[in-house]
Structure 1
Amino acid sequence: MSESTKRKLASIFEEDIRSLKHNHFTMIEGGYMRSMLGCSIEEEHKFAEQWDELTVDKYMGDGGKYRFRRYGQFVKAAKSSFLQLLPHEPYVQSKEINYLNGGIERIFDPLTEFFVQSPVLERTLLLLADLYDKTLGCKNDWNIRLHPYRVRTTPNQLGLPAPEGLHRDGVTFIASMMLQRINAIGGVTTLTDNKRKRLASIELKNRFDIVLANDAETLHDVSSVMPASTSGSGYRDVLVIAFTLLDSQL
């Protein structure tokens, strides 16, 4: 990577920090994310293939069978440059946070071993930890919850990435990163402030396009997904990444 490219990426990184501080959200285009991560095309493809291993979400309050996912957690300590995978456990949200699917223990299949060990994942999480630390002005201990999603759609079935509507997740920072869209349109992210005034509408189109937001200062929704062509089904693959500050120092 040339020095001029390094300077440009550093400038973009600083712009994202300023945007998170002052606007409470930012969006990084996939091409810049790809350069920052520095992974090979083969590593990218193998990581994206893990979305074929997702299993149906059996806990949809609307009865839908259009969403596929897995779930897992890491810890990133302030004093460490490594990620620690936590033991698998159910995912729980309160009804106040998620009126549709909250209030129960949802037991999703764990992340695959290949997913957990992917250099794409490791570099993404470490990059975000660094960005969030610099946004807050200090190094922090983080709990990181990972939600790889596939939302399927057919000519007879819309896919709903956020069936609960405009909401927050009860975390510190929330991010959604595009992996791929196959014969699918829609899935536009809307961000508002706490008074529900629209801040931005962002469509993640390309691999590694990512939108990040301060979850306490914003609400978000994602519009329905439908086939780009009426002749077949389609799907939208994203990785939702939730960072939550930990009180205790690890």
Structure 2
Amino acid sequence: MSDPIRPYARFTVPPLSDDAMREFDTLPLDPYTGGSQRYRRFSQFRLWYEGDDWRTERLPHRPFIQSRQYNGVVGGVRREFEPIRFDPTPQVAAGARAAWLEQDRLYQINVHQVRVITSTDIKGIAVPEGPHRDGHDFVMNAIFSRHNITGGVSQLMPTGGGPCFFEDVLQPQEAIVMADDRMWHHATDILPAGPGPGHRDIMIVSFNAWERRRYGEEFERRLGALNHEPVPA
């Protein structure tokens, strides 16, 4: 990540516990993504470096909101998700190390646990908004399962589009973290590789310096004003 020409890193994340992996089977349906069929939980955390590693503290649960500037599909919508039911600190810490986050700063992070499914009747849309950036300092995508699928190719490209400078299939326990303000990212749709349904299980983590946090009543009020909509506290 310190290389200015390659502001991203591909790396290995610690495996999730068996109990955490089983949580993917229990994810509630995400009702906000239109034609795609995906399942999701979402939580937000405070992140800091202490002793010899990164630590997290879960923040009080709030809805997930993005600006329309970054998400033309559901930007401005208060999306209500159930919270994640395991501790993602080892995986988050691996992403923080790969991104070379400054150890003397406090960060706020969003963590999404997502399953995208596909079958002969269901199109496995990996990224409903298409190539995009999310307006964060860094974004990490970590893969934990690819079951009976093809596709799901991770792509990084110049802001505004253009030929990919990174394009590959991340395998389980692989992740990529990127400087979000310096590129667009995307993943191609998934298709079943054989009879029966398939799925791709991922964890998406966004990192923001605490002073630029995407969390809390003040952030939600500012975003509501930006979208010219009342956003309740």
2:210 maps to 1:239: no
Which of 54, 78, 92 is matched with 2:65 structurally?
92
Secondary structure of 1:46 counterpart = helix
Which of 148, 153, 166 is matched with 2:113 structurally?
148
1:182 CA displacement:
1.1
Q: Per the alignment, do residues 22 and 136 of structure 1 end up closer, same or farther by CA in structure 2, a change over 3 Å counting?
A: farther
1:71-90 paired onto structure 2 within 5 Å: 71-78=42-49, 81-90=54-63
1:225 CA displacement:
0.7
Q: Which amino acid aligns with 1:129?
A: A
Which of 31, 38, 52 is matched with 1:58 structurally?
31
2:13 maps to 1:25: no
1:166 CA displacement:
0.6
Secondary structure of 1:124 counterpart = helix
Higher helix proportion: 1
1:154 CA displacement:
0.7
Which structure 2 segments of 5+ residues have no match?
A: 213-233
Distance in 1 of aligned mates of 2:56 and 2:169: 30
1:200 CA displacement:
0.9
Distance in 1 of aligned mates of 2:124 and 2:153: 12
Which structure 1 segments of 5+ residues have no match?
A: 1-16
Please report the TM-score for the alignment, with normalisation by the length of structure 2: 0.82
Secondary structure of 1:148 counterpart = strand
Q: Per the alignment, do residues 155 and 74 of structure 1 end up closer, same or farther by CA in structure 2, a change over 3 Å counting?
A: same
> Could you tell me the percent identity over the aligned residues?
26
Q: Which amino acid aligns with 1:201?
A: E
Which of 129, 149, 168 is matched with 1:202 structurally?
168
1:221 CA displacement:
1.0
Is the 2:49–2:55 Cα contact (8 Å) retained in structure 1? Answer: no
Is the 2:160–2:184 Cα contact (8 Å) retained in structure 1? Answer: no
1:190 CA displacement:
1.0
Secondary structure of 2:76 counterpart = coil
Partner of 1:68: 39
Distance in 1 of aligned mates of 2:96 and 2:156: 22
Once superposed, what is the RMSD of the aligned Cα atoms? 2.0
